[in-house]
Amino acid sequence: MAKLYEKAWNQTVEGLSDWKKGIIINNFPYEERCDKDVSDEVARTAARLAEKWDAELKGKVTTPAP
């Protein structure tokens, strides 16, 4: 599941607008409230995506990526 979360996080961040991507990459640990709000939104979106993928993979045999 951790691999799905990481993949979803990377895919979500990759699809962000440049200004949001800049906040995620350059402003950690998100001390400003507006930066934290963007981070929370991205985390929520990534978690939903990972959980969707997990539900789709239930009962299927998968081979781990190298």
Q: What is the pLDDT of residue 18?
A: 97
pLDDT band at 43, cuts 50/70/90?
Answer: very high
Residue among 20, 28, 18 nearest 45 (CA): 20
- Compute the distance between CA of residue 46 and CA of residue 8 in angstroms, rounded to an integer: 5
pLDDT band at 66, cuts 50/70/90?
Answer: low
pLDDT band at 4, cuts 50/70/90?
Answer: very high
- Compute the distance between CA of residue 3 and CA of residue 41 in angstroms, rounded to an integer: 20
